A and B are shown apart, each in its own frame.
Chain A
Amino acid sequence: MSLHRQGIISGVGETAYSKHSGKSVLALHLEASLAAIADAGLTPKDIDGVIPYTGMGVVAEDFITNFGLRDLRFSATTPLGGASPVAAVQCALMAVASGVCRHVLIPIARNGASGGRVSARLREMPQFRGIAEFELPVGAFAPAQIYAPMARRHMALYGTTSQQLAAVAVSTREHAILNGKGMMTTPLMLADHQVSRLIADPFRLFDCSLESDGGAAVIVSQAQCARDLRAPPIEILGIAEGHPDSPSALTQRPDLIEIGLDKAAPHAFAMAGVSRDEIDVAEIYDCFTYVVIRQLEALGFCGLGEGGPYVESGALRLNGQLPTNTHGGLLSQAHMVGMNHIVELVRQLRGTAGRAQVANARIGLVTGYGDMGDGSVAILARA
């Protein structure tokens, strides 16, 4: 069987995004989850599956306890770093398509700005064992430092420029301002990007995503539940995850710029049965500007090495060829590990994306990227 149209996204929710939530990570999880549950027209007791994000210190048991769930039938985790939320949608889809669950909650929350930094936990994460032992001692361990050589090689091989990286940051900021929920509220010009301080060459400050407090959640439900729900159902047409070769040691990857999405994208498009031209809006995981460019290539919106000119042409702007990161992404809205990308795509397809609404958006695409290049992608459509 295929997972094509075997489930829907029935609800989405977010908390406010800030630098200091003043709330516990658990409280943020529950707040975002309640928002998504209400959006779907459900009550917490309707939830019979939960897929929490690994590494935030919150587990399925917390939802049983706090929501008084009497019959949770499924819990899992999808540990792919920033690719986890979209991979969790695939996992939830399998649970609802098989009849194990009716409504699966996928929550995330963090005090990423006011709390601990991700890099501090590197040693405790088994997927980074190689980096912790062999690269951390010589001074390479932060995601910016690990991904920068991918970007540098792309630039050396294909002529990608810092100005092209900036184009991603600039259009994403425009969208964050229109969206209105973003942490970044002032326009960003190309020149601002070019004078921002270097973090890990070629990445400047504005090539890097935010550190944020907040939470976001989505609910995946059985397709036949659609008529009972409050919000217009959003169908899942195609979905896949992909893992690059040498996933834990990027250094040893046969092709340094290969990512998991190179493998996942053809599967998702084949399952969806849609062409690239039919994608009205895209939410592309944007931990760094370069990562957006490389994913656009992997998705087939442009050829390998053509991502720089593609974004420089204005393609990602609201009136461009492929309006992208219409909420402001991780770069300018908030770093919710890409759950906010799924939330935004659902809103776009419902037609409730506010001032950043893409006119007549019917089919859209969302990606996740993380843990040194794991990838995930979902193609969604208004039912």
Chain B
Amino acid sequence: MNDSILPARPLPESTVDSLPYWNGLREHRLRLQQCAACGKVRHYPRPLCAECYASEITWIEALGEGVVHSWTVAHHAFHPAFKADLPYVLVTVDLPQGVRMLAPLRGPASALRIGLAVRLIFEDVSPELTLPAFVIA
């Protein structure tokens, strides 16, 4: 880790399996893998369906509307890039497709409860990278 004045954010390193997901975020679309054989939706992107072992997939587009499954509020920066954001809320969100997403909640921690309805937003970090976040629906 270097000592530059603005510590670099850790960037995702995409794989051949996940590239369409990251490309989708950059276009402000949430794409999820769906097994082309049995229809099971899976996340995070990976090469095989754990239900039927098929490798063929379809990328489906999700609205990103979900409910809070659990959460934490980060008060300590374990990486210097996040120090300026403290405290920040992280929510684990149930999507109706049966998978979950973990992303920051841009909203008050006082509102947090299981089942809180949230909606995905897209935050452009750079021309190359867009990260997911949630707001209260």
* Interface residues in chain A, defined as those with a beta carbon under 8 Å from any beta carbon in chain B: 119-120, 123, 130, 132-142, 144-145, 148-150, 152-153, 156-157, 197-202, 249, 251-252, 256
Contacts and interface: CB of A to CB of B under 8 A. Distances in A.
A138 B70 contact: no
B72 A200 contact: yes
Interface centre among B11, B74, B79, B113 (most CB of A within 10 A): B74
Majority secondary structure, A binding face: helix
A123 B99 CA distance: 23
Nearest to B76: A199
A130 B9 CA distance: 17
Q: Which 6 A-B pairs have the closest CB atoms?
A: A148-B72, A149-B70, A142-B78, A201-B73, A153-B70, A198-B75
Nearest to B123: A138
Nearest to B109: A201
B9 A145 contact: no
A251 B102 contact: yes
Contacts of B1: 120
Interface of B: 1, 9-15, 18, 43-44, 69-76, 78-79, 82, 85, 87-88, 90, 92, 99-104, 109, 113-114, 129, 131-133
Nearest to A138: B103
A197 B75 contact: yes
B73 A198 contact: yes
A139 B82 contact: yes
Contact of A149 (B82, B92, B113): B92
A35 B57 CA distance: 55
A295 B9 CA distance: 35
Contacts of B15: 133
Contacts of B85: 139
Contact of A251 (B18, B100, B104): B100
Contact of B44 (A149, A252, A256): A252
24 contacts: A123-B10, A130-B44, A133-B18, A134-B18, A136-B12, A136-B79, A137-B11, A137-B12, A138-B102, A138-B131, A139-B79, A139-B104, A142-B78, A148-B72, A149-B72, A152-B70, A152-B72, A198-B73, A199-B75, A200-B73, A200-B75, A201-B74, A251-B101, A256-B92
